[in-house]
Amino acid sequence: MPIKHAQVRYFYDIQAWRRELQTVDLVIGARIHGSLMGIYAGRPTLTIANDQRILEMVEQMMLPYNTIYDFENPSHFDLLEHVGKVGAKFDGERFDRNRARIAQAYVRMFDAIHVNVSANVHNIAAGCNKYNLGQHSCLWGLACTVEQPVKPHNKAQHGL
C-alpha cells in the first residue's frame, strides 16, 4: 500500500512534533525516538521492537512494547484488543520507580564530575509525583512526565 506524500509529516521543531502527536489517540512505532515523543506528548505509546537494540532499550525503560514476532496471524489481528492486552501489562508505578532510579544514577554520576543537571532530572530522581511537579501528563493513564521545570530538590533531603 503506497503512502501518499500528503500523509507524511516531518518536523524540525520538537514542540510542533509534540503538538501533532497530542492530536492522536495512540502512538505505535518501531523507532525509539518516535516512541519517546509519543510519551512526551502524553499519549499511550506502543513500541514495536524490530531488533535487539530497540528491545533492550524498551525493556530497560519498562515501556509498553511488542516484538515483530508477537504478530503471529496478521490476517486475524484486532488492533484495539492487542493494544488493550499490552496496556494491561504496563505498570505505571514500576515505570516511574525505574525512571527515578535511572535519573538518580545520572544525578550521582554528573555530581561526581561537577556537571550541573537540569531541574527536570532532579524532579524525576526525586520521584515522579504530580504533587511536586505541577502539571503532568500520563502514559497509559498512570506514569507522568515532566512538563514544567521546577527548582532542584535539596540533595541531602533525598539522600543523593
- The 10s digit of each residue's pLDDT in 143-158 is 444 343 334 434 444 3
Tens digit of each residue's pLDDT (9 = 90 or more) over 29-48: 999 999 999 999 999 999 99
d(CA 37, CA 10): 13
Per the structure, the count of domains in the chain is 2
Residue 67, exposed/middle/buried by CB under 10 A (0-12, 13-18, 19+)?
middle
Q: In what helix (H) or strand (E) does residue 28 lie, and over which residues does it extend?
A: strand 27-29
13-22, 40-49, 63-72: range with lowest mean pLDDT: 63-72
Tell me which of 61, 90, 119 is where a domain ends: 90
Assess whether 127 and 61 both reside in one domain: no
d(CA 145, CA 44): 12
What are the residues facing 66 on neighbouring strands? 48
Assess whether 10 and 75 both reside in one domain: yes
Could you tell me the pTM of the whole model?
A: 0.69
Q: Which among 127, 132, 123 has a CA at the least distance from the CA of 152?
A: 123
Assess whether 102 and 66 both reside in one domain: no
Q: Whose grid coordinates read 533525598?
A: 158
Assess whether 17 and 72 both reside in one domain: yes
